[in-house]
Structure 1
Amino acid sequence: MKNLALSIALGTAAVALAAPAQAEVQVTTSQPVVELSVTETVKGDPDLATIGAGVSSRAGTAVEAMRINAREMKSVIDRIKSLGVAEKDIQTTGVSLYPQYDYNRTTQQQEFKGYQASNRVSVVLRDIDKTGPVLDALVAAGATDLSGPDFSIDDDTAAKAQARAAAMKRAEAMARDYARMGGYSDIRVIQISENVMVNRPVPMLRMAVAEATADASTPIQPGQVGSSVTVNVTYEMMQ
């Protein structure tokens, strides 16, 4: 993926030069400057899958709803651990308790029906080939709500470095083109900053237990994910 933003300023400009430790140096130039924002993306095969699993439980009292939910959620977490998922890769993302009401059309009033307790965890799978079987196993263990998978790369340092180098190379080539078209013979960098983001596929699954089937393992296609770097570079055009 390639994106570009451009602006050219003529006349005197005071430009902030990025420096370590958040320092800021003002560079004054009387030459025209060209400001480029270039994005490059490097794609790779994911090696992590993150899924969400939760349990919702209902009961007549808040205490009973929480008690039932704790028991059912423990069963799900125990199943996750039995599949070889490390403790560090399981994180609680939310616990909730809400009163439940139904609307009575006859009395035209809300009628209290009890409480619903919910508990959700986020699970990181380091063997993405097991994503489908793990989802099926969680449903069998009592999970009533699933989300994901969200695929990513555990260490995308190399991919970001490639994207950064490609973005800088393209920015320099474009700046030289603008300088040449403007009658200038050289350029120099006077400011650089960057934005980094990871592009992930949209989560492929949002499933309630009632929709799950045990006929076959849930099919999962991880595809590829992209690591993007946007460099913002200001060049001075020189004679």
Structure 2
Amino acid sequence: MIRFALPLLAVAAMASPAMAADVQIQAQGPVVELSVSEVVKARPDIANVGSGVSTLAPTAVAAMQQNAKAMDAVIARIKALGIAKDDIQTAGINLSAQYDYDQAARKQVFRGYQASNTVNVTLRDVAKVGQVLDALVAAGATDINGPVLAIDDETTAKAQARKAAMERARTQALEYAKLAGYADIRLLDISESINIGRPMMLEKAVAADAIMNTSTPVEPGLVGTGVNVTVTYEMVR
């Protein structure tokens, strides 16, 4: 986004952590506003996976009891893989009646209650994601969501993206200033918003009888993290 404005520019500045004040900056020349996005890509070092169990039984009590037993086995397997307790979090528990539609009778036919329980797991060894997924299915997991690959600490990547965005913004603003007959620019305002470039979660259901002899392949690739910076410069002689 490129916008030219009149010489008088009003910007908001923080006076203290408790209050904000409006500061009037008098610009002698025209101003140019640029919005620049930069994304830095890096190897992911964590993977988030959803793992759970769905069970069907004639009664609600039976469905929940069967589900609890199966889920206990899955969680025990997760912990046995060396995953820390803080990296395991219950994502949802659901119980609902299930029906089939009888075409001949033209009515819903009750077939039981379905109970489901899912946990979100953070894996800190991306190379072993496929092995972990296979182990969870072998332990009784019937639902797998993910993986979502990410960078655990994005501080360095964001700093690199921020530096690149500011350098590009200044270069572009200076180019516009010179095209307009001005010699230099003066920074007036900066604002930033986060640009998340992570891939979306791939959702799929895995049946327990679909376990292969080989480990599930997972290619980590690269994930991106970045910022969007909006800067305003005054053109000066």
Question: Is TM-score (shorter-chain normalized) higher than 0.5?
Answer: yes
* Separation in 2, partners of 1:210, 1:116: 17
Percentage identity across aligned positions?
53
Q: 1:50 to 1:20 in 2, by over 3 A?
A: farther
Q: 1:53 to 1:234 in 2, by over 3 A?
A: same
Residue 186 (structure 1) shift: 2.2
Q: Select the residue among 22, 32, 36 that pairs with 1:25.
A: 22
Residue 230 (structure 1) shift: 0.9
Q: Which runs of no fewer than 5 residues in structure 1 stay unpaired?
A: none
Matched position secondary structure for 2:105: coil
Residue 107 (structure 1) shift: 1.4
Moved more, 167-176 or 7-16: 7-16
* Separation in 2, partners of 1:88, 1:20: 36
Matches within 5 A, 1:48-87: 48-87=46-85
Matched position secondary structure for 1:7: strand
Q: 1:112 to 1:215 in 2, by over 3 A?
A: same
TM-score (norm 1): 0.92
Letter in structure 2 aligned against 1:43: K
* Separation in 2, partners of 1:217, 1:94: 27
* Separation in 1, partners of 2:219, 2:16: 42
Partner of 1:163: 161
Partner of 2:201: 203
| Contact 1:27–1:190, Cα closer than 8 Å, also in 2 | no
Query: How many positions carry a matched residue from both structures?
Result: 235
| Contact 2:34–2:232, Cα closer than 8 Å, also in 1 | yes
Letter in structure 2 aligned against 1:51: V
* Separation in 1, partners of 2:96, 2:203: 25
Matched position secondary structure for 1:94: strand
Residue 183 (structure 1) shift: 1.6
Moved more, 16-25 or 85-94: 16-25
Q: 1:20 to 1:175 in 2, by over 3 A?
A: farther
| Contact 1:17–1:27, Cα closer than 8 Å, also in 2 | no
Q: Which runs of no fewer than 5 residues in structure 2 stay unpaired?
A: none
Partner of 1:10: 6
Matched position secondary structure for 2:176: helix
1:125-182 deviations in Å (ceiling 9; x for gaps) = 0011110010000110110010111111111111110110010011011111111111
* Separation in 1, partners of 2:99, 2:34: 57
* Separation in 1, partners of 2:16, 2:34: 21
Q: Select the residue among 127, 135, 138 that pairs with 1:137.
A: 135
Residue 61 (structure 1) shift: 1.1
Matched position secondary structure for 1:23: strand
